[in-house]
Chain A
């Protein structure tokens, strides 16, 4: 009964001020459009980044370290005692993970889990009288291929060639360029243990990260044990889980069980993940401000209509429209602006996303031309539309309340 006629009245009053209505609709639409575009960039880049984190690294790395130094025996014997020891050094222990082979075997037995023992250290790669220091990782190629994306980043050669070559080494593109090394060249590897060993380049990878491309090399685990003079020792167990999100809990379990430090990818990247939270908070508050500004436009037009239409409101009331009917008429106007703003905003967002998707730019340190990674999720569109409706109706609220409190007698008396 009310809704159809109320809707028509609301509509007619808005159409009567076409230009103003359009401006406030555009205000909302731009807000919605930019919100969606920004959210798409933010979510897209965040997902892309997390994806890289998850796929480029092991989900959990167990290291031959302990988070807390071993307690002094005295404290173990008298846990409640008032004991003070000054200048004690934590007990020295043998580096390396004890009995790593059994641990790897046990972890690998879990369904979907890939575990690999690795030994890392520092070496120097020399070629044609030029030295470059590098981090070496002694790995098992078959497992490394499943754990990280080194193999897919391989420009030439393969990790698997480490198996078929006596002393093979896999280096990065940056190092290859700097030292003038090519596939199948013999580089000299110098180790802190004083060992000098010629090794054959069996693979060149390119990850797009300067640090890794210049300073990371891979050899077989047993070669690393020789190079670093740590026979039968591994200082890392790298683990990939079927569900990357479980990494934190699994890491905590493993650490409490074996007491070796177990870092999940979330823990390692906590600062970056934390930055995402801050970044999102900043963007969303800026976009929120846009919506607030847009809703002032709506507030403005509906207040104007209410002021101008006081006589019409009075006559509608004398006709028998209730206060709440009048309030609804103006809320409908707000909602109409919101809905229009939402739809046009969606169109603007689609246009913006098209535009953003076509942009390419280069980031120093990343040699590839990069583009925005966009997330075309429906969620942003829904949230943007929701914001539009809510801000529009909220902006209409106060003027609508004012309209509902119009006392027809005063208006009619004033006009007569």
Chain B
């Protein structure tokens, strides 16, 4: 019987910020997320939601513990190897869109693909166009980010996160800066990505409605998992 590893697996992950008085961000986290799951992470501020997300996204390195992504053990890997995993397997969406202001919408979406370099320029442009179309942003493709509304920018940021066809989408308060209408749209997009495309989505949020709309909710308190509920 072949055992398929889960898409994301955290084993005893602890992150302590070294300081005169060391700060424990997350403590002894065990978390298993299967392919296609849509998980929300909630908790009071300072509970370590974002810290956990950055650790799972390999932006930060745990002080102890192991993280497996798509079957790859990431502990002990160098910064360049972690960057390569981020590039190919992980898409980030943050509260702020972080689009590069010098580039047009479509160029922003093309950046990760160009860095990966797996496709030709023509294919990259076609795929970026298709991603924007899926998010109903085709007509904004040639605009600059500062000509877009907040909701539009966040959709571009999602398209960019999807650029290299990642297996894992990590979102840090993706609706935190949006009005309720745009917030609903973004939530729906994430739900679709998980449901229809089988991607794994983990979203940190403090919005009750967002958390309720996900299949699974992980509730953090003081850096460890207090509740892990599936619906």
B114 and A320 contact, CB distance less than 8 A: no
Residues of B99-126 at the interface with A, using a CB-CB cut-off of 8 Å, are 100-103, 111-112, 114-117
A5 and B86 contact, CB distance less than 8 A: no
9 contacts between A and B (CB under 8 A): A1-B114, A5-B115, A16-B101, A312-B100, A314-B98, A318-B92, A323-B83, A412-B54, A413-B54
Q: Which of A7-15, A143-151, A216-224 contacts B (4 or more CB under 8 A)?
A: A7-15
Q: How far is the CB of A327 from chain B (nearest CB, A)?
A: 12
Given A2-B115, A5-B115, A408-B59, residue A320 in contact with residue B102 (CB < 8 A)? no
Q: How far is the CB of B192 from chain A (nearest CB, A)?
A: 22
Q: How far is the CB of A21 from chain B (nearest CB, A)?
A: 13
Alpha-carbon gap, A16 to B102, bound state (A): 7
- Of B50, B85, B98, B101, which one neighbours A413 at CB under 8 angstroms? B50
Contacts A315-B100, A318-B92 aside, 18 further interface pairs with beta carbons under 8 A come to: A5-B114, A312-B101, A315-B98, A316-B100, A318-B57, A318-B86, A319-B160, A320-B115, A320-B164, A321-B83, A321-B115, A322-B84, A323-B79, A324-B80, A325-B115, A409-B60, A412-B98, A416-B173
Alpha-carbon gap, A311 to B102, bound state (A): 13
Is A317 close to B, CB under 8 A?
yes
Q: How far is the CB of A15 from chain B (nearest CB, A)?
A: 7
- Which residues on B sit within 8 Å (CB–CB) of A412? 54, 59, 94, 98, 172
Is B96 close to A, CB under 8 A?
yes
Q: How far is the CB of A79 from chain B (nearest CB, A)?
A: 74
Is A359 close to B, CB under 8 A?
no
Is B141 close to A, CB under 8 A?
no
- Which residues on B sit within 8 Å (CB–CB) of A311? 96, 98
Alpha-carbon gap, A413 to B172, bound state (A): 10
- Which residues on A sit within 8 Å (CB–CB) of B87? 319-321
Alpha-carbon gap, A16 to B114, bound state (A): 21
Q: How far is the CB of B120 from chain A (nearest CB, A)?
A: 12
Alpha-carbon gap, A16 to B101, bound state (A): 9
Is A355 close to B, CB under 8 A?
no
- Of B98, B102, B172, which one neighbours A13 at CB under 8 angstroms? B102
Alpha-carbon gap, A314 to B96, bound state (A): 12
- Which residues on A sit within 8 Å (CB–CB) of B221? none
- Which residues on A sit within 8 Å (CB–CB) of B54? 409, 412-413
In the complex, what residue of chain B is closest to A311 when comparing beta carbons?
Answer: B98
A320 and B88 contact, CB distance less than 8 A: yes
Interface size counted on chain B using CB atoms at 8 A:
34
- Of B85, B100, B112, which one neighbours A9 at CB under 8 angstroms? B100
Residue with the highest number of chain B CB atoms closer than 10 Å, among A312, A324, A416: A416
Q: How far is the CB of B34 from chain A (nearest CB, A)?
A: 24
Given A322-B80, A412-B94, A416-B172, residue A15 in contact with residue B102 (CB < 8 A)? yes
Q: How far is the CB of B50 from chain A (nearest CB, A)?
A: 6
Alpha-carbon gap, A409 to B103, bound state (A): 23
- Of B103, B115, B117, B176, which one neighbours A319 at CB under 8 angstroms? B115
Q: How far is the CB of B159 from chain A (nearest CB, A)?
A: 13
Alpha-carbon gap, A176 to B112, bound state (A): 86
Bitwise interface map of A from 315 to 357 toward B, beta carbon under 8 Å scored 1, else 0: 1111111111100000000000000000000000000000000
Alpha-carbon gap, A324 to B115, bound state (A): 13
- Which residues on A sit within 8 Å (CB–CB) of B84? 320, 322
- Of A5, A312, A325, which one neighbours B98 at CB under 8 angstroms? A312
Given A13-B102, A408-B59, residue A1 in contact with residue B86 (CB < 8 A)? no
- Which residues on A sit within 8 Å (CB–CB) of B79? 322-323
- Which residues on B sit within 8 Å (CB–CB) of A130? none
In the complex, what residue of chain B is closest to A416 when comparing beta carbons?
Answer: B95
In the complex, what residue of chain B is closest to A319 when comparing beta carbons?
Answer: B112
Alpha-carbon gap, A325 to B83, bound state (A): 10
Is A415 close to B, CB under 8 A?
yes
A415 and B83 contact, CB distance less than 8 A: no
- Which residues on A sit within 8 Å (CB–CB) of B98? 311-312, 314-315, 412, 415
Alpha-carbon gap, A317 to B90, bound state (A): 12
Given A15-B102, A413-B50, A415-B96, residue A320 in contact with residue B80 (CB < 8 A)? no
Alpha-carbon gap, A319 to B190, bound state (A): 18
Q: How far is the CB of B17 from chain A (nearest CB, A)?
A: 10
A5 and B60 contact, CB distance less than 8 A: no
In the complex, what residue of chain A is closest to B107 when comparing beta carbons?
Answer: A8
Is A87 close to B, CB under 8 A?
no
- Which residues on B sit within 8 Å (CB–CB) of A2? 115, 117
A1 and B94 contact, CB distance less than 8 A: no
B115 and A1 contact, CB distance less than 8 A: yes
Q: How far is the CB of A125 from chain B (nearest CB, A)?
A: 82
- Which residues on B sit within 8 Å (CB–CB) of A415? 94-96, 98
Alpha-carbon gap, A111 to B193, bound state (A): 91
- Which residues on A sit within 8 Å (CB–CB) of B176? 416
Q: How far is the CB of A7 from chain B (nearest CB, A)?
A: 11
**Leading 6 A-B pairs by shortest Cβ distance:** A320-B87, A1-B117, A12-B102, A315-B98, A5-B114, A320-B86
A409 and B111 contact, CB distance less than 8 A: no
Alpha-carbon gap, A264 to B50, bound state (A): 82
Is A4 close to B, CB under 8 A?
yes
Q: How far is the CB of A315 from chain B (nearest CB, A)?
A: 4
- Which residues on B sit within 8 Å (CB–CB) of A15? 102
Alpha-carbon gap, A2 to B173, bound state (A): 30
Alpha-carbon gap, A315 to B161, bound state (A): 11
In the complex, what residue of chain A is closest to B84 when comparing beta carbons?
Answer: A320
Alpha-carbon gap, A122 to B57, bound state (A): 96
In the complex, what residue of chain B is closest to A312 when comparing beta carbons?
Answer: B100
- Which residues on A sit within 8 Å (CB–CB) of B83? 317, 320-323
Alpha-carbon gap, A44 to B158, bound state (A): 64
Alpha-carbon gap, A412 to B160, bound state (A): 17
B112 and A320 contact, CB distance less than 8 A: yes
- Which residues on A sit within 8 Å (CB–CB) of B173? 416
Q: How far is the CB of B71 from chain A (nearest CB, A)?
A: 19
